[in-house]
Every structure is written in C-alpha cells, then in structure tokens.
Chain A
Amino acid sequence: MGYMQADPDIELMLRFKAGDQGAFRRLFDRHKGPMIQFCYRFCGHSGVAEELAQETFLRVYRAAARYRPKARFRTWLYRIATNVCLNEIRRPDYRNRIETLEASDANQAAISSDAAASAGEDRPDVRLALEEQQQMVFKAIAQLPEDQRAALLLRVEQDFSYKEIGRQIGRTENHVKTLIHRGRCKLKQLLAAYFGEEP
C-alpha cells in the first residue's frame, strides 16, 4: 500500500469522492495535457483525441463514488483511457470517420507546422520532411495490432512499468514484455522503407 502515501493524486481523488469538486479540477488540470497527447498518439487525430480525453475524464468523474485506490492513480486513469481508445478504434466506422475528418481538417497541418517550428526548423524543405516523417509514424502506429499499440504507447509515452501495463490491459507481465518487443519490431519494419533500411 506504499503507493497510497506516495501518490498525491489518490488523496485528491478521495477528496473528490467525499464531495470536494476542487480536488477533481486539480486532477483534471494536472493530467489533461498528457492525456490528450496519449489519445492523440493512439488515434492520430487531434479532434478525436480531445473527445477521447474528455470521455476518459467523464468516466473518472462518474466513477468517483465507487473509487477505491488499488494502484497509483495514473495507472487507473490510463487504464480507463486505454479502454476508451480501444473502444473507439474498434468501432466499425472508425477508419471512415478518421479519413473523413482528415480530409476536411486543415488542423493537422497546423499542428505539424507548429511542431516543426518548435523544433527550430525554419527551412521549408526540412519542415516538410519532418511533417512527412511524423505522418508516417502516425500511420505506422495505426497499423499496429491494438494490444501492441496500447502496450507500446503506455511504455514509451507514459513510462509505465510492465507490471502496471499488465494491469491496464489485462495481461501478464511476460505477455506485456512480448507485446512491447513485437510492437517495436513491427514499427521498425513498417518504417524501414521510409528510412531507407532493410525491413
């Protein structure tokens, strides 16, 4: 039970459960940024990522009455987020939805340009190359099997341990280790042609 003393988020969640709305607002403010990033990497679209992040926090809000700390708050939070993201990508119309949104969305280019600019790349050709690379990575992530995608993003993006990831996606630690390794190999294979490497 050491995580309970070490995790101030658990204290905030318990205070929210007891009726302190301000405690929930602090949790939301603290986690909204990383949560949107996680959902963005998972689904590859900014608008959908915000919807998924919003749905995750609403589920947390609704679950407060039943909340019992059994792990770090972040472990629980990202377990919910992973379920929300997996539900979304399992929807039969998910692919069509993303393609429709991408076709009508100039937002994507704006985000990539911002990222390139923030990386200090002012040259248009370098910026263009960076944007292309990022789009390729998004597409490669989208091609990963869903459990590999979830495990890899939880590890690389959010730095969860294998044990925590096992709790989040309902797999054993050894299975998580395999999923992450296969995810990395698959990603490397999918991006090999783009980077001029042998698959």
Chain B
Amino acid sequence: MIDFCQQDQLLSAFLDRALPGNRMDQVRDHLRGCSACRRKLAALQQTDEMIRGLPSLTPSPGFEAGFWAEVTRLEQARRRPSWADRLLADWRPLLAAGLAAGLLAAILIFRPVATAPTAEEVFMVQNMEMLNDFDLLQRLDLLEDWDAVQDVAKEHV
C-alpha cells in the first residue's frame, strides 16, 4: 500500500500526466479524500501557472533581418576558398617556375660526370693489355720461325 502523502513526487508526475493509467486513477482517488495533498498539488500547479504567466516576448524588428544576415555571412564564408586555395591561386605562376628550377637543379646535380680513373681502374686496364700480349704468345707457330723473324727485323733496323 503506497502512502501517497509521503510521495510528493507522484503529485508532480500526476500533474504532468506522466503516470501509468492505473496509478493516475489511484492518485486521483487519494486526492478526493486528502485535503493536504490537494493543497500540495495546487501549489505545484501555481508554480506552473506563474511560469506560463510570464510575459510574451515579441521579436525585435531587427531579429529576423539579423538572423538572415548571419546566414548570408555563413554562406559567403562557405563559398570563400580556404587560405591554402587562395595561396595556390595567387602564387601559381611563381610556384610553376620554382618547380621547373628545382627540376633543372636536380638534373644538374645528379647528371653523370667524367672523372679521373681510380688506381684500381688503371690496374684493371693494364691487366687487360697483358692479356692481349698473352694472346700473341699463344701464337706458338710464330716461335717456330723466330730466327727468320729476327733476321728480317735486323735487316729493317
């Protein structure tokens, strides 16, 4: 059994029609026989009426115009390109020239350059010459006529 007199919050919910159907009926029945709860309910109703009785506010003449002006500003801000877009647009020719210069510099820096042979490269080349000489020595048939070759050489000297 609910002691409605101790449940003030139920009166608020009753005032707001926020109780389930059977509970609404129970509170209504209780109110019929309880003058203390009727007074409490009347006081709660009075606070609501005081709020509802506050003066109405007619919008000032500038309210609507001010609002739509704000909307227009908002739309303009949306359409306006961002600072990055504007920077790109204003400096586009310079940016293109800068990119071209950078590309040229990269080509110049990284192009292949003729340099003096290293000691290792010189040694390799000399070895290759020796290899050629060795090829000649392999012609052993020349050695068979070596004396004749020497004679011819003496005649020429």
A→B interface (CB under 8 Å): 28, 32-33, 36-37, 40-41, 46-47, 49-50, 53-54, 57-58, 61-62, 111-112, 114-116, 118, 133-134, 137-138, 141, 152-153, 155-157, 161-162, 177-178, 180-181, 184-185, 187-188, 191, 197
Contacts of A49 in B (CB 8 A): 57
B121 at the interface (CB under 8 A from A): no
A193 to B54, CA, bound (A): 19
Seen from chain B, the residues whose Cβ lies within 8 Å of a Cβ on chain A are 8-9, 12-13, 16, 18, 43-44, 46-48, 50-60, 63-64, 66-67, 70-71, 74
Say yes or no: A46 contacts B12, CB within 8 Å: no
* Chain B hits for A178, CB < 8 A: 9
Contact assessment for B71 and A153 in the assembled complex, using a CB-CB cutoff below 8 Å:
no
What is the bound-complex CA distance between A115 and B52, given in angstroms?
12
Does B8 contact A185, Cβ atoms closer than 8 Å? yes
Q: Do A141 and B51 touch (CB < 8 A)?
A: yes
Q: A58-B67, A116-B55 are in contact. List 18 more A-B contacts (CB 8 A).
A: A28-B67, A49-B57, A53-B63, A54-B67, A62-B74, A114-B55, A115-B54, A133-B50, A134-B55, A137-B53, A155-B16, A178-B9, A181-B12, A184-B48, A185-B8, A187-B47, A187-B51, A188-B44
Q: Tell me whether A50 and B59 are in contact in the complex, defined as CB-CB below 8 angstroms, given that A58-B74, A153-B51, A156-B48 are known contacts.
A: yes
CB-CB under 8 A from A58, the residues of chain B are 67, 70-71, 74
Using known A-B contacts A61-B71, A61-B74, A188-B47, determine if residue A177 contacts B64 with beta carbons closer than 8 Å. Answer: no
Q: Measured between C-beta atoms, what is the minimum distance from A61 to chain B in Å? A: 6
Helix, strand, loop or mixed for chain B's interface? helix
A177 touches B18 (CB 8 A): yes
Rounded to whole Å, the gap between the CB of B64 and the closest CB of chain A is 7
Q: Which residues of B contact A157 (CB under 8 A)?
A: 51-52
Closest to B44 in A: A184
Q: Given contacts A32-B64, A50-B63, A54-B70, is CB(A180)–CB(B16) below 8 Å? A: yes
- Asked whether, in the complex, the Cβ of A134 is within 8 Å of the Cβ of B71, the reply is no
Asked whether B66 lies within 8 Å of A54 as measured between CB atoms, the reply is yes
